[in-house]
Structure 1
Amino acid sequence: MRFPGVSFVKQSALTAVFTAAVAFSVTGCKQQAPEATPTVSTTPATPAKVKPPVVTTPPAVKAHLYDDDADPNKLIAAGLKQAKKEHKRVILDFGGDWCGDCQVLDIYMHRQPNWDLLNNNFVVVHISVGHIDKNLEIGERYGVALSKGVPALAVLDANGKALYAQAGGEFESMRYMQESSVTEFLNKWKA
């Protein structure tokens, strides 16, 4: 910094004052407390154990949620057997791999707190409806109106009794719904 018409010594002094003023304005004039003064230790320091950061990856879209070749009656029987053993309920999830809303529902179910609610209270059975031309009689058996769209859900107790059947396409527009709608559903029907 140069000041015209001022000697070198005065310029140095003015520069020092200016620098100090800037430093005080940036850092403040707070004096460090005596106990905060670092001390020198002669013992070697032990490195602190640092926990690695928890990395969570968002659930991925699954290519094959619904098996077109699976026997839905066998899937339901296996789900009921597991539910009875684990004192849970069964969610019948009717849909197709082509269905974007079905994928969104699956993603929402795998996010917290839904994932814990699902694991602790339900066995999920995915039933393929093809292109709404397959396993329609299974939906009818449980009172699910597949003509209203998919995904469509039913909740069964461990004995196979339908406790809930989606009748009005409640989940068929999952892409426009909030995750909290899945949370509310799971809380309402949990075992």
Structure 2
Amino acid sequence: MKFFRFFLIAMLLAVPAFSAPRSIYPDPSQARVDIAAALKTAPGAHKRVILDFGGNWCIDCFVLDNYLHNEQNRPLLEANFVLVHVNIGTYDANLDLAAKYAIPLKIGVPALAVLDERGKLLYSQTNGEFEKVGRMQPASVTAFLTRWKPGSKPCSVVALNC
């Protein structure tokens, strides 16, 4: 009986930790405001902008966010990029932004686009590169951030091997 009471108390104390899921993506209506703010910040900070298209229902989106903010990648991200989370709802929001930045949502999310500090599209994921990020290692995100940080040789949107 003592064990049961202890177990019950432990479970009740643990419930608050699991009751409110973390939210990465703000309301879909916030996307344009956030992109505009990033494009104002980026030039003065000499950073590029990463647009992360996804939704709070997407497990791989949470994995990517964890990889972006782990102890190895966070300094690289914060020093070189302004990150904007673009909420696509349940594939029914910000579809025009996905099209503008050449993100084929039919392939899946998360999907990233990289803009230079003036807003010019440098890269968009057209092959679902991070759509299965849960099966990847954090080093894949490190390589991505390193490839696209300012000062790296920019690749065109069309280039496959750069």
- 1:18 maps to what in 2? none
Q: Is the 8 A contact 1:95 1:129 kept in 2?
A: yes
- 2:109 maps to what in 1? 150
- 1:15 maps to what in 2? none
Question: Which blocks of at least 5 consecutive residues in structure 1 are unaligned?
Answer: 1-60
Runs of 4+ residues over 3 Å off in structure 1: none
- 2:55 maps to what in 1? 96
- 1:123 maps to what in 2? 82
Identity of aligned residues (%): 52
TM (norm. structure 1) is 0.66
TM-superposed CA distance for 1:64, in Å, is 1.2
Of Structure 1 and Structure 2, the greater helix share is in: 2
Q: Is the 8 A contact 1:96 1:129 kept in 2?
A: yes
Which is greater in Rg? 1
Distance in 1 (CA, whole Å) between partners of 2:36 and 2:61 is 22
- 2:32 maps to what in 1? 73
TM (norm. structure 2) is 0.78
Distance in 1 (CA, whole Å) between partners of 2:77 and 2:31 is 20
Deviations 1:145-190 (A, max 9, x none): 1111000000000110000001011100011011010000000000
Deviations 1:112-164 (A, max 9, x none): 32111101000000000001111011011011111110000000001100000
Work out the number of aligned pairs and report it.
Answer: 131
Report whether the alignment pairs 1:184 with 2:143.
Answer: yes
Distance in 1 (CA, whole Å) between partners of 2:79 and 2:121 is 19
Q: Is the 8 A contact 1:132 1:146 kept in 2?
A: yes
Q: Secondary structure at the match of 2:63?
A: helix
Which has the larger displacement, 79-88 or 68-77? 68-77
Q: Secondary structure at the match of 2:29?
A: coil
Higher relative contact order (CA 8 A, sep 6+): 2
Q: Is the 8 A contact 1:148 1:169 kept in 2?
A: yes
1:83 aligned to which of 42, 62, 79: 42
